[in-house]
């Protein structure tokens, strides 16, 4: 982890925060550095919706109002990182277990900005498993269905989501069509959601490179 580049990623990201915004904020080390940077633009932010307790505690320290997602009409910008992301701005997220909240907040947001180090930008998804939040009673059925499509399901031991559910990490699945696989996994009974973000992908990707420069990749729908 390069602290200097994480700081630069955060500084770049705040350029995309309009005045009077309600922000959605994810979790992770890159996001943590972004939260540090928003102290200098507190006057532009109406409030923040957080997807995790870790980020929530950090936001409280900088004294920006915290909103419940259920009680906001809109979220202007959602800032979050990814485990892996490709040039089409599709990603694997949820390694920390907050994937359901992250997916809900991303859907509620006008713009989704993903912030990552260069090592997270990949041509093919292969390093990280696909995390899936499931209702505990569905575990045997879920494993059976995942094995049918070539996956190896591994229960994340001693871990419960903030919704009281369990996480199963899926290994060995080829992700040639992320959107199709996202839909297929979500159709298994008992699945809350999975960590493929393809149906609702990022609008903007900010990549911190090893040479200390920043690369911006925009969605085709953004001119």
Torsion of CA 39, 44, 12, 82, to 10 degrees: 80
Measured CA to CA, the distance from residue 182 to residue 203 in angstroms comes to: 18
pLDDT < 50 regions, the chain: 223
Measured CA to CA, the distance from residue 195 to residue 203 in angstroms comes to: 17
Confidence at residue 220, expressed as pLDDT on a 0 to 100 scale: 77
Is 3-123+198-218 a CATH 3.40.50.1360 domain? Answer: yes
Measured CA to CA, the distance from residue 35 to residue 153 in angstroms comes to: 34
Confirm whether pTM is higher than 0.85.
yes
Torsion of CA 60, 64, 66, 71, to 10 degrees: 180
Confidence at residue 1, expressed as pLDDT on a 0 to 100 scale: 58
Confidence at residue 58, expressed as pLDDT on a 0 to 100 scale: 93
Measured CA to CA, the distance from residue 99 to residue 52 in angstroms comes to: 10
Confidence at residue 143, expressed as pLDDT on a 0 to 100 scale: 98
The DSSP string of 85-135 is E-TTS-EE--TTS-HHHHHHHHHHEEEEEEEEEGGGB-SS--SS-EEEEE-
Confidence at residue 222, expressed as pLDDT on a 0 to 100 scale: 57
Question: What is the spatial order of strands in the sheet that 91-92 belongs to?
Answer: 84-85, 91-92, 196-197
Alpha-carbon distance values, 211 to 5, 32, 117, 214, 217 (Å): 9, 21, 11, 9, 17
Residues known to be catalytic = 102
**Burial call 96-111: b when 16+ CB within 10 Å, e when fewer:** bbbbbbbbbbbebbeb
Confidence at residue 164, expressed as pLDDT on a 0 to 100 scale: 95
**Sign of CA pseudo-dihedral 108, 199, 93, 110:** negative
Segments making up each domain of the chain, as ranges = 3-123+198-218, 130-195
The domain 130-195 is classified under which CATH number: 3.30.360.10, 3.30.70.260, 3.30.590.10, 2.30.30.60?
3.30.70.260
* Residues 115 and 31: beta-carbon distance below 8 Å: yes
């Amino acid at each position: 982890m390069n602290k200097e580049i994480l700081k630069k990623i955060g500084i770049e990201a705040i350029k995309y925060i309009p005045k009077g915004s309600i922000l959605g904020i994810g979790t992770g080390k890159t996001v943590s550095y972004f939260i540090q940077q928003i102290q200098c633009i507190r006057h532009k932010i109406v409030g923040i919706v957080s997807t995790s307790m870790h980020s929530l505690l950090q936001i409280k320290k900088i004294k920006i109002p915290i909103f419940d997602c259920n009680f906001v009409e809109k979220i202007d910008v959602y800032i979050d990182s990814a485990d892996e992301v490709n040039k089409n701005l599709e990603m694997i997220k949820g390694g920390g277990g907050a994937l359901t909240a992250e997916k809900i907040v991303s859907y509620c947001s006008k713009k989704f900005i993903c912030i990552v180090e260069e090592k997270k930008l990949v041509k093919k998804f292969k390093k990280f498993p696909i995390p899936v939040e499931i209702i505990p009673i569905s575990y045997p059925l879920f494993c059976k269905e995942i094995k049918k499509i070539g996956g190896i399901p591994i229960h994340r031991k001693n871990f419960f989501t903030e919704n009281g559910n369990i996480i199963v990490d899926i290994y060995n699945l080829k992700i040639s069509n992320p959107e199709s696989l996202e839909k297929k996994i979500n159709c298994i009974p008992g699945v809350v959601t999975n960590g493929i973000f393809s149906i609702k992908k990022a609008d903007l990707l900010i990549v911190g490179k090893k040479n200390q420069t920043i690369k911006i990749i925009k969605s085709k729908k953004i001119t």
